[in-house]
A and B are shown apart, each in its own frame.
Chain A
Amino acid sequence: MAKRLQAVNLCYSPVLRDINLTLAPGELVALIGPNGAGKSTLLRALTGYLPPDNGHCLLDDKPLSAWTPQALSRQRAVMRQQSQLGFDWPVEDVIIMGRAPWEQGNSRNVVEQVMAVTGCAPLSGRKYNALSGGEQQRVQLARALAQLWVVDAPQGWLFLDEPTSALDLYHQQHLLRLLKTLTQTGNLHVCAVLHDLNLAALWADRLILLHEGEIVAQGSAQQVLQADTLSRWYGADVHIGQHPGSQTPQVFLAP
């Protein structure tokens, strides 16, 4: 298993400028930033989908472009915001597609396990296109986890683009708790674009604030979520409070 994913002076003009970043297993990172800051583009560069104009993206000191597509797909999985499927597939068939990079032997077994941990078990037997947006997101998460599943847990890098956008309160919490637990085993890195700063504050180990394609702040929630930082980069008028049940800061919009 690979040990670290590194961006070195990564540029993708005109969206990203000189990004330096190290993502290691065992960590849950939240990418935050105003609209158009380049979060999704950074995600695509880190996953190897967009080849950088300048600089490198290195997985174990080897550029992503030097990895074979199959070897890379065993190391990192991506879940995008909304996925429309061509034609009508049963939920299990969508999830099993995540096993494409692997030998097919124990696919069914893996599908059962990921469906259980992502709460997709009740969706068994349904058609993907007939599901609600939130249910589809859960199925896509299950597919992404299936792609990284080794023995009894996921390993590697999991990238998520606004994974909570269509989820209700319960499923937001369920998803982030799950991601947190999975990263704590030490074999999985999760890098998620999150719009909701309060979710990021509660669950992310590190927040990375992007503005116009540059990293302008990063660190723990306490370090990044400060009123002057946020009003400077977001242009919004905010108050910072504290979560009633934990030490983490929470962001409130000023009325």
Chain B
Amino acid sequence: MMPWVARSLWSLLALLTLLTLCATTFGALKLPLDILWHGDSTLRQIWFTIRLPRVLLALTIGGSLALAGCVMQGLFRNPLADPGLLGISSGAALAVAMWVVLPFSLPLVLMLYAPMLAAFLGSLAVTMVIFVLSQRNDNSLSRLLLVGIAINALCGAAVGVLSWLSNDAQLRQLSLWGMGSLGQAQWSTLLATASLMLPTVFIIWRLAKPLNLLQLGDEEAHYLGVNVRQIQRRLLLCSALLVAAAVAVSGVIGFIGLVVPHLLRMWLGADHRAVIPGSVLVGAILLLVADTVARTLVAPAEMPVGLLTSLLGAPWFLWMIFRRGGQHG
């Protein structure tokens, strides 16, 4: 890795730390950091049990979504691949909605992970479908995105049917969660998400080099000694897992996975050894900032952060399509 790239990553980490500390002070209630040393214990309690997990959850989810986008773009060799656009998030969302509405039950130990398990099955199913389709022939972008549209429509309709079946409490839970919000933040959800995310990030980081070689093409990577099928399978599983962990906790938060890796590639180049950690850091920063805005802008109420990221991300997506012009079709 070039020295300037490493320096950039370290400065991102520093920025992330700084912003994290700042973000814990903002919110419906201002909590300046010095309450940690000498303040009353109620405020400290609020900071520790509500504010801190919320902020850390934003980091975790933002990092996961951005990294999932980064990995998918690498696998599909396509800068427009995004878990949201390809329908992977909505596959996960549908599975979670089924979990909320339909009467399943599981042993108590698994209950904490149950939404994630459901989300994982959903995201994995969609990922597989899309990947098989993309392998079949030309890997054309329009085809992938069309499949994504179809899957989004299908899952959206199915979630609609489930909402129609659901009772009032379930309906409220579904619709709030569906807009994408970090309002559920607690230490338990944070730990569940982070315990999935951190190992997954580590595994993906270890696969950065073969993922680089895959950019030459599947066949070329094979000639360079890469076990192509195995690497693809692992990366798909990992990215589905990241999407699942994020969606199960926070609903569908769109466009982070599209925007962040793209920015990183413009800045640091295409090498995944830089883009992978960079995506995690910038994704975390972006969602942290968006979530902080979402919960301070209309305080004491808060807006779902998913609406905010989509409002910013969708125009970006349009811009990318226009900029690429006739390159695909």
A residues apposed to B, CB below 8 Å: 44, 47, 49, 68-70, 72-74, 76-78, 80, 83-90, 93-94, 97-98, 100-101, 143, 147
Whether B215 and A86, one on each chain, are in contact in the complex, defined by CB atoms closer than 8 angstroms, is yes
23 A-B residue pairs with Cβ-Cβ distance under 8 Å, sorted by A, are A44-B219, A69-B225, A77-B223, A78-B219, A78-B223, A80-B217, A80-B220, A84-B77, A84-B217, A85-B215, A86-B77, A86-B78, A86-B214, A87-B79, A87-B270, A88-B265, A88-B269, A89-B215, A89-B271, A90-B269, A97-B212, A97-B213, A97-B224
Whether A49 and B222, one on each chain, are in contact in the complex, defined by CB atoms closer than 8 angstroms, is yes
Q: How many A-B residue pairs have CB under 8 A?
A: 71
Interface residues contributed by chain B, number (CB under 8 Å):
23
B216's partner among A47, A49, A83 (CB-CB below 8 A) is: A83
Write the chain A residue with the least CB distance to B220.
Answer: A83
Q: Complex: how many Å from CA A23 to CA B265?
A: 43
- In the complex, whether B195 has a CB less than 8 A from a CB of chain A is no
If A69-B225, A85-B217 are given as contacts, then 4 extra A-B residue pairs at C-beta distance below 8 Å, sorted by A number, are A73-B223, A84-B77, A85-B77, A85-B215
Whether A93 and B271, one on each chain, are in contact in the complex, defined by CB atoms closer than 8 angstroms, is yes
Beyond A86-B77, A100-B209, is A78–B220 a contact (Cβ under 8 Å)?
yes
B residues apposed to A, CB below 8 Å: 74, 77-79, 209, 212-217, 219-220, 222-227, 265, 269-271
Write the chain B residue with the least CB distance to A68.
Answer: B225
Whether B224 and A87, one on each chain, are in contact in the complex, defined by CB atoms closer than 8 angstroms, is no
Beyond A49-B219, A80-B219, is A86–B225 a contact (Cβ under 8 Å)?
no
Whether B270 and A101, one on each chain, are in contact in the complex, defined by CB atoms closer than 8 angstroms, is no
Whether B219 and A87, one on each chain, are in contact in the complex, defined by CB atoms closer than 8 angstroms, is no
Q: Which 6 A-B pairs have the closest CB atoms?
A: A86-B77, A73-B225, A87-B270, A86-B215, A69-B225, A70-B225
Q: Complex: how many Å from CA A147 to CA B222?
A: 13
Separation in Å of the A66 CB from the closest CB of chain B? 15
Whether B216 and A97, one on each chain, are in contact in the complex, defined by CB atoms closer than 8 angstroms, is yes
Q: Complex: how many Å from CA A77 to CA B227?
A: 15
Separation in Å of the A108 CB from the closest CB of chain B? 12
Q: Complex: how many Å from CA A84 to CA B227?
A: 20
Write the chain A residue with the least CB distance to B210.
Answer: A100
Whether A87 and B215, one on each chain, are in contact in the complex, defined by CB atoms closer than 8 angstroms, is yes
Q: Complex: how many Å from CA A84 to CA B269?
A: 17
Q: Report chain B residues within 8 Å CB of A83.
A: 216-217, 220
Q: Complex: how many Å from CA A80 to CA B214?
A: 15
Separation in Å of the A183 CB from the closest CB of chain B? 19
Whether A69 and B216, one on each chain, are in contact in the complex, defined by CB atoms closer than 8 angstroms, is no
Q: Report chain B residues within 8 Å CB of A93.
A: 269-271
Beyond A69-B226, A73-B224, A98-B224, is A86–B74 a contact (Cβ under 8 Å)?
yes
Q: Report chain B residues within 8 Å CB of A89.
A: 215, 269-271
Q: Complex: how many Å from CA A87 to CA B79?
A: 8
Whether A69 and B227, one on each chain, are in contact in the complex, defined by CB atoms closer than 8 angstroms, is yes
Q: Complex: how many Å from CA A93 to CA B214?
A: 13
Separation in Å of the A161 CB from the closest CB of chain B? 10
